[in-house]
Amino acid sequence: MKMQDRMGYDRSITMFSPDGRLLQVEYAKKTVKQGSTAIGVECKDGVVLVADKRVSSKLMVADAIEKTFKIDDHIIATAAGIISDARVLVDRSQLKAQQHFVTYNSKIDVLSVVKDICDLKQICTQSGGLRPFGVSLLVAGVEEDGTMKLFLTEPYGLYFQYRAAVIGEHDTEIEQTLQKKWKNTLSTTDGIKLALSALKEAMGAEFDAATLDVMTVSKESKRAKQLTTTEIKALLK
């Protein structure tokens, strides 16, 4: 579609273009593409999330920037795109997880969290006066039966389950690396190393271990753990 033909069709989220597209949804997907990179890896003994925080100034305190989130003890998430949008979705998911535990006295499953996030995202694609969430989330966790799950949620409310996934800038190069090197025999340590090496190769000189967030959930303990910068640097060696 030519630029002049798009005029008017991107002014409302409820308006389809003549060729059947919702242009504001496509703009949201482009926003995700421009976001800082986040990687998720399912391993034999847990799940791993690695995210670049994209610190734009030496005066910024990198440790104060949050790019990985704990939804529940056994569920974690990261995002690419507008992180303030992600924070709203994570807050909603944290509340849902707490309500589920109080009501049923059991931990919420990963898919229920993902579906709730995507339901809200989808509503924003068909309601006037709203805009789509400009963010994709990777949601990972370990179920009570020990099953590992990793989901990718799109800005328009669709979700997919992956063994390994990447969102944000450099997604094309990193996805090729994950396709070549991911194996179902990887430990969480190996998974972190794979994600870090793929990120380092894609980012080049911009790569900095001090601006990374790494979080895991162990299959054995079913508890989230945030790695320190010292631990990340040790794995890079």
- For the chain, the domains span 28-53+66-236
pLDDT in tens, 43-90: 999 999 999 998 888 888 888 889 999 999 999 999 999 999 999 999
pTM reported for the whole predicted model: 0.93
CA atoms 208, 209, 213, 218: torsion sign: positive
Note the pLDDT of residue 5.
53
Q: What is the mean pLDDT of residues 188-209?
A: 94
CB 150 within 8 A of CB 138: yes
Q: What is the DSSP letter of 204?
A: G
CB 71 within 8 A of CB 86: no
CB 30 within 8 A of CB 80: no
Strand, helix or coil at 159?
strand
Give yes or no for residue 232 having a pLDDT over 90: yes
Radius of gyration (Cα) for the chain, nearest Å? Answer: 18
Note the pLDDT of residue 4.
46
Alpha-carbon span 49 to 119, nearest angstrom: 23
CATH homologous superfamily of 28-53+66-236 equals Aminohydrolase, N-terminal nucleophile (Ntn) domain (3.60.20.10)
Give yes or no for residue 159 having a pLDDT over 60: yes
pLDDT bracket for residue 163 (50, 70, 90): very high
